[in-house]
Amino acid sequence: MSAVVLFLMSTFARLMTFPSRCAPHFMAIALVLAATNGVQAAEFPRGPGFYYSLPRILFFFGAFLLWIQLSVWVDSDLREFKLNYSIWNPVFLAIGFVGTVLCFAMPFFWIAWLLWMGMIVGGAVGYVKIRNREVREADAIVIKDAIKAFLERTLRMQFAKEKKGRPSRVPVRFFARGGQSSGAELARAQESKGYQSAQEMVYDAVKRRVTDIHLEPTQEEMSIRFRIDGIMVNDNPFRRSTGDAVINIFKVLCNMDITEKRKPQDGSFSAQVEERMVDFRVATAGSVSGEKMVMRILDKSAQIISLEQIGMPANLRGSIVELVKQPHGMLIVCGPTGAGKSTTLYACLNEIDRFQQNVITIENPVEFQLDHITQIEVNVKAGKTFASELRSILRQDPDIIMIGEIRDKETAEIACQAAQTGHMVFTTLHANDTVTAIGRLIDLGVQPFNIASALSAVLGQRLVRMLCPKCRVKYKPDAETLKRLNLPPGMIKHLYRAHEGEKDEEAEESEEPSVCEKCGGTGYFKRTGIFELLVITEKLREMIRENPDLTAIRNAAVKAGTVFLFEDGLRQVLTGVSSVQELMRVSK
């Protein structure tokens, strides 16, 4: 009898999408039970009839199903996280086997049943505890939540809406910005729906080195786009209602007016992501399909990186260090948006003795906090512009002034004057290359003689994405590529390019997923700088003062042996750090 029940159960288990590789185990158990039942029948001869009470069968069946579900889950969990399934799968098989035997062989069914349940629950709890130690914190399982999810899944039980303010297991804590009502604001945000979605999105973004998050509404969805290494990447969209709730949460955190959905607003908040403190600069704007939001992520705990770490070659580093230690002058770092200009300025500040000199910065926003310098943040709403702040700090006897960006004539003129009156000025300018930067200053309305006297050097730069070291592909460049790179044929044996999702012949025997784990399949991981430094020599100074003709200045720079961006970029391509395609993309 029991053998028949077991056989039916095992068939049932197979129908319940149980992996076919486990089915033989059940067949084995059914056979063993048939055998033990036979033994029992021989030892205790009984009359005809139905021996097993219905409650017992139901309880046995319940425990059996619980065990099956747990075994299936443990098996898939082990595989997902590449844990040691040669230990855990046999453990669960043994629990099932011993438990079944106990229930049928022990004289006291209920004690046997309780023992078996104890083994199943104990095994599951033990497994979770041990696997939590091996996986990342984000993947750890909170047993209470797991039981709830399990019941929901198997018994289709519907639980009441989640309790408000329930602590989440996503290791992200938000801190509202700005003042008196921040506690109440935070509580309000935590209570609203979408709070966990917001946490998960932020966690994911910080883990993936995202610098900007774009939330853009469409009719049904809220699309999410991340900027990683300067490139926009689509992420799984939110449902529209969740997306709107998420935007609302960030607006509350920023102390924005949540009823205003059309006029642009901006603000900021911070978050603790695991151990790191991260600042968010948030801007909203109305669009035809709803309110959109852009969030810039500023990692406060990131270290100031050195000139070497931003990828500057040794000879160039030498020239820069020499320049920044001059008593007066002006160093302009130029490039398009997102070329790493401010990172370079910070690296320059880091080269300076900040104890012996008075260093003041004017920034929008302050991206890194440095010790022993005065950092001032521009706030246009409060009337604190680059120009007004620059004027006032000149009265505070600075030796070195860092101006986040020159955008207008006034700032440019004061900066040039400061550079001529015994201050060292560092700043950035939005210009494609070093010679164009000089033209840009003239366009802003600064007198050429002022530029000529003030300027020490212009550093042009770009960030190129570095090839992912795990999946980059070696190839032999064709003649046309070499021609584009201005390289003689035959000089270069091989170059590297990004993995484009094709099958890797060498790694064919392995079952590795086709998406590279390190770079997420983009083929690139992190970025490094390429540079051109135009030092203003006496000859160039004369040219700027007398007749600022950019073509003539460029020709003079070529003659003086200036290494231009593209040539410096080749250094990264030839060493396999970056690819031809990437260099072409950024130096267009």
Query: Which positions touch Zn ion (CB under 5 A)?
Result: 468, 470-471, 516, 518-519
The least CB distance from residue 524 to Zn ion, in Å, is: 8
Other Cβ atoms closer than 10 A to 3: 18
- Yes or no: say if 571 and 495 are a contact pair by the CB < 8 Å rule: no
- Yes or no: say if 386 and 378 are a contact pair by the CB < 8 Å rule: yes
The least CB distance from residue 473 to Zn ion, in Å, is: 10
**Cα–Cα distances in Å, from 191 out to 242, 530, 570?**
14, 47, 54
Other Cβ atoms closer than 10 A to 371: 6
Residue with smaller CB distance to Zn ion, 286 or 520: 520
Q: Is the Cα torsion angle 320, 458, 324, 380 positive or negative in sign?
A: negative
The least CB distance from residue 516 to Zn ion, in Å, is: 3
The least CB distance from residue 518 to Zn ion, in Å, is: 5
Residue with smaller CB distance to Zn ion, 470 or 484: 470
The least CB distance from residue 273 to Zn ion, in Å, is: 23
Residue with smaller CB distance to Zn ion, 397 or 502: 502
The least CB distance from residue 521 to Zn ion, in Å, is: 7
| 209 closest CA partner among 583, 527, 585 | 527
| Burial of residue 273, with CB atoms counted within 10 A of its CB: 0-12 exposed, 13-18 middle, 19 or more buried | buried
The least CB distance from residue 520 to Zn ion, in Å, is: 8
The least CB distance from residue 498 to Zn ion, in Å, is: 8
Residue with smaller CB distance to Zn ion, 245 or 516: 516
| 60 closest CA partner among 125, 14, 105, 124 | 105
| Burial of residue 557, with CB atoms counted within 10 A of its CB: 0-12 exposed, 13-18 middle, 19 or more buried | buried
Residue with smaller CB distance to Zn ion, 260 or 512: 512
Residue with smaller CB distance to Zn ion, 372 or 518: 518
SS3 290: strand
The least CB distance from residue 421 to Zn ion, in Å, is: 52
| 470 closest CA partner among 421, 513, 433 | 513
Locate 557 and state its tokens: 């720079």
| 190 closest CA partner among 267, 248, 244, 234 | 248
**Cα–Cα distances in Å, from 127 out to 71, 96, 123, 140?**
11, 15, 6, 12
Can you state the percent helix, strand and coil of the chain, rounding each to 5?
45, 20, 35
Residue with smaller CB distance to Zn ion, 129 or 470: 470
Residue with smaller CB distance to Zn ion, 325 or 518: 518
Residue with smaller CB distance to Zn ion, 280 or 496: 496
